[in-house]
Amino acid sequence: MQFPEFWSAFADANAQWLGYGFSGFSGWEIVAYTLLTTHVTIVSVTVFLHRSQAHRALDLHPVVSHFFRLWLWLTTGIKTRQWVAVHRKHHARCETDEDPHSPQTRGIGAVLLTGSELYRAEAQRPATLERFGRGTPDDWLEQNLYARYSWQGVGLTLILNLFLFGAIGAVVWAVQMLWIPIMAAGIVNGIGHWWGYRNFEAPDASRNFSPWGILIGGEELHNNHHTYPTSAKLSVKTYEFDIGWAYIRLLEMLHLASVNRTVPRLRFGPLRTSVDASTLTAVVNHRFELMATYARRVRAATVVEMRNPAVVNGGDADRLSIMRLAKPWLHRDADKIPPHAKAHIARALSVSSRLTVLIEMREKLQRLWTSKNVSKGQLLADFQSWLHEAEQSGIASLQDFASRLRSVKT
């Protein structure tokens, strides 16, 4: 080949590369490729790192596990042991100063904007890795490739993107690299403990913020997860969608995964006139769902009281406003109520004796599973006493709830 011909061929190849690379993909096809690869990355994080490795909610076939490890090495550079250790510490020290990325202690802005930096700082602590990183892969591949050469994987992805898509491949690579820091380290860890709705009064500030399931793989159901951290399924309501669970079910059908735990299902049987230790155990095991039911009854009772002329004093605007200010907080646990709302609640309870009884009975019931150094016999006696008091209260919703506790299936 003569030099002019060589130069012409080189120029044509260079022009093709500078366009959309050697893949021949159109602009929309490149966008689709980017979304598909980032979605696989999200699935790898939620199914492999989070549910399988950190919480042992399911076991994956070795072929599937190795695929996820390879994919994460190529698209994130995440080291399994580090990610698992940081996440486990987050659960163990949630909403305290030792929590690696709580917006309650570090501020929502810091977690949203610097979540990946907070993760990296905690991942470098030997004590965190030693205590919380046990049981993660430690084979030859992990020691000699994935953990040892973590940045080379994402470097290979950059080279591949540049070859396939030309200069725009650098943009594709940047989106792939930023997807987890923004979606997981920022949004899930930040918004998931700051804004949204709560199905359960978990002992932290976790929230659900649907509908982002396709983008975040089901991780947006954060309150559900913190309530039942070892469940492979994160959705609990019929209107909630967990795409990560859909993939797990698909892997199960292909015999590539086995689920160890899901959210325990609350079932009811015949009404028992006498309760024993097994009934108390069932109530404690399902306490979050039962207390969510109790919270709905408190909210309903508040609405009824707001319509009760005897309570609002024949339409007294001041008393009615007191009830309205207290309504959003009456069903919440005491440690989740801000100081300004506690004053509203105190005033509302002084107006309604019915609400006062409901709140007092809720606190007594919660002490059954928060009390320490109490014998099983004493707990059972306290439970039986609570049921008797509820049934004698004269409050229909409280009496009905006591009946439900008596009929919880063991």
Q: Quick one: which H or E segment has residue 349?
A: helix 339-351
pLDDT for res 182:
86
pLDDT for res 313:
56
CA dist., res. 127 & res. 262, Å (int): 31
- pTM, to two decimals: 0.86
CA dist., res. 60 & res. 47, Å (int): 9
CA dist., res. 83 & res. 147, Å (int): 12
Q: How many CB atoms lie within 10 A of CB 398?
A: 23
pLDDT for res 18:
53
Among 352, 298, 364, which Cα is nearest to 330's? 298
CA dist., res. 225 & res. 237, Å (int): 13
CA dist., res. 187 & res. 244, Å (int): 17
Q: Please check whether residue 218 is in contact with residue 231, taking contact to mean a CB–CB distance below 8 angstroms.
A: no
Alpha-carbon torsion 299, 301, 302, 307, what sign? positive
In the chain, where are the structural domains located? 3-259, 277-406
CA dist., res. 328 & res. 326, Å (int): 6
Three-state SS for 45-105 is HHHHHHHHHHCCCEEECHHHHHHHHHHHHHHCCCCHHHHHHHHHHHHHCCCCCCCCCCHHH
CA dist., res. 375 & res. 398, Å (int): 26
Helix, strand and coil in the chain, % to nearest 5: 65, 5, 30
| Three-class secondary structure of residue 318 per DSSP | helix
Longest dimension (CA), the chain: 102
pLDDT for res 6:
41
Classify residue 49 by burial, with Cβ atoms within 10 Å: 0-12, 13-18, 19+.
buried
pLDDT for res 165:
93
Q: Please check whether residue 358 is in contact with residue 366, taking contact to mean a CB–CB distance below 8 angstroms.
A: no
Mean pLDDT per 10-residue segment, the chain (410 residues)? 47 50 85 96 97 98 97 96 97 95 92 90 95 95 92 95 93 93 87 92 89 86 96 94 96 98 90 89 91 88 76 60 80 80 84 88 89 87 94 92 91
- What number of CA atoms fall less than 13 Å from residue 7's CA on the CB side? 3
pLDDT for res 255:
98
